[in-house]
């Protein structure tokens, strides 16, 4: 029952519920403020009709904002800032400044309420918005003071209004400065969180990817091999070695050798059959190809197709033309406990392919 009531009043869990809760909090504050106004009426400090009008306006405004946010229309009307913080604060500032004209001799406490309103946005507003809200509060209060002094100088003598104005400027200025500093601190923390997120992403990339080719590294390949091996589906593993890679380095230089590895990596990724096949750099000029749901004979067809594609696409920007090829060995994994053994079988098959003249594939 309690849970249903909470859901009815606050809505479903999530950010919207937080917004509704904040709006209900402000509604509760204005309910208490309304009680204080009625107490002022009983004590003869405020006129009943003026206090009633202000109370009706305050509660209807706060209630309307609650219904607006509870219904979800806030996300439709103002998606950039669905909490409607500026709207709520602007309404509250107007109501508090209105109370300054209503409360008579007790009007000095209004400055405290303005501080409460500005504090409401301390953890939300950007520095520019905080300055705007403080300026709005100061201007509205100044206008009310001038009008009250002009039309009712007996209850609002200039000397008292000047003192109140000085206190208001001091209080609003201090709160505005604190709010601006909080906003700057939030921005700094947000920037630091983003930098940390990017740093963690880079660390994860360095830990899981080969720096040169961008392919999954040896550690990642072993993890994925263990995951695939635990599944009750066929899994073929192909170990690929670029033929005569040392000669490429010796004749063209190590930068060209690095380009050759990256060239093969791009072609191999393009040749993958969807998102399940994985190719990664095993080490040096060796690459490992994981082919789930694939028998060795099917894997051989995939590897041979990759070889033909590699031979049709010479390494660009190299003269004379550099046509690459590779030798490959294929093993079939028979479960998670067979991981090291299948790599060894694929490695032995690859060396048999090399001994057979390179540029071919052997089954292990």
User: From CA 364, how far away is CA 359, in angstroms rounded?
Assistant: 16
Residue ranges for the chain with pLDDT beneath 70:
1-3, 6, 336-337
81: left (phi over 0), alpha (psi -120 to 50) or beta: beta
Residue burial 224-260, b: 16+ Cβ < 10 Å; e: rest: bbeebbeeeebbbbbbbbbbebeebbeebeeebbebb
Spatial neighbors of 307 by CB under 8 A, at least 6 apart, are 325, 326, 328, 359, 361
| Nearest-angstrom CA–CA distance, 59 and 61 | 5
**The two three-digit tokens of residue 281, written as one number:** 């750099």
Report the C-alpha gap between 315 and 14 in whole angstroms.
54
> Tokens 């209060």 appear where?
141
Residue among 75, 285, 286, 293 flagged as catalytic: 285
Mean pLDDT over the full length of the chain: 88
| Cα 130 to Cα 140: distance, rounded to the nearest angstrom | 15
| Structural tokens at position 233 | 């589906």
**Distance between CA atoms of residues 238 and 64, nearest Å:** 67
Report the 10 Å Cβ neighbour count for 134: 25
332 catalytic per annotation: no
Q: What is the pLDDT of residue 337?
A: 66
pLDDT of residue 1: 65
**142, 165 in Cβ contact below 8 A?**
yes
pTM of the model: 0.60
Nearest to 263 by CA among 188, 318, 203, 197: 318
> Pairing state of beta strands 326-333 and 235-242?
antiparallel
Give the per-residue pLDDT at 90.
92
Q: Which pLDDT value is given to residue 335?
A: 74
What are the tens digits of pLDDT across the range 123-155?
Answer: 788 888 888 999 999 999 999 999 999 988 888
Token pair for residue 341? 């053994």
Place of tokens 């303005």: 114
pLDDT for 126 equals 84
Q: How far is CA 95 from CA 57, 88, 175, 183, in A?
A: 8, 11, 19, 25
Contacts of residue 80, Cβ cutoff 8 Å, sequence gap at least 6: none
Q: Could you give the CA distance from residue 133 to residue 140 in angstroms, rounded to a whole number?
A: 11
**Domains defined along the chain, listed by start:** 2-201 (no CATH), 218-363 (3.30.70.270)
DSSP H or E run through 283? strand 278-283
């Amino acid at each position: 029952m309690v849970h249903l009531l909470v859901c009815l009043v606050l809505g479903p869990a999530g950010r919207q519920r937080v917004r509704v809760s904040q709006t209900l909090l402000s509604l509760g504050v204005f309910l208490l403020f309304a009680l204080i106004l009625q107490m002022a009426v009983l004590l003869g400090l405020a006129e009943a009709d003026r206090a009633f009008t202000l109370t009706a306006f305050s509660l209807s405004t706060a209630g309307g904002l609650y219904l607006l946010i509870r219904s979800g229309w806030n996300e439709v009307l103002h998606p950039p800032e669905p909490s409607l913080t500026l709207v709520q604060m602007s309404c509250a500032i107007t109501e508090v400044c209105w109370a300054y004209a209503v409360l008579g001799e007790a009007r000095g406490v209004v400055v405290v309420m303005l501080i409460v309103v500005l504090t409401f946005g301390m953890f939300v507003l950007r520095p520019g918005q905080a300055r705007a809200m403080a300026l709005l509060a100061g201007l509205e209060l100044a206008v009310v003071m001038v009008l009250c002094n002009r039309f009712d100088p007996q209850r609002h003598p200039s000397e008292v209004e000047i003192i109140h104005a000085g206190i208001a400027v001091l209080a609003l200025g201090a709160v505005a400065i604190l709010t601006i500093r909080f906003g700057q601190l939030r921005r700094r923390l947000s920037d630091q969180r983003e930098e940390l997120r990017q740093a963690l992403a880079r660390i994860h990339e360095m830990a899981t990817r080969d720096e040169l080719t961008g392919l999954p590294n040896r550690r990642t390949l072993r993890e994925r091999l263990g995951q695939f091996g635990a599944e009750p589906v066929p899994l073929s593993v192909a170990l690929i070695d670029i033929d005569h890679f040392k000669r490429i380095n010796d004749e063209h230089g190590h930068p060209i050798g690095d380009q050759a590895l990256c060239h093969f990596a791009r072609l191999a990724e393009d040749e993958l059959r969807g998102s399940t096949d994985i190719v990664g750099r095993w080490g040096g000029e060796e690459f490992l190809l994981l082919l789930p749901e694939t028998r060795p004979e099917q894997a051989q067809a995939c590897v041979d197709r990759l070889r033909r594609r590699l031979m049709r696409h010479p390494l660009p920007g190299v003269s004379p033309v550099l046509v690459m090829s590779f030798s490959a060995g294929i093993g079939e994994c028979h479960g998670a406990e067979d991981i090291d053994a299948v790599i060894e079988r694929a490695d032995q098959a690859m060396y048999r392919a090399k001994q057979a003249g390179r540029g071919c594939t052997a089954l292990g």
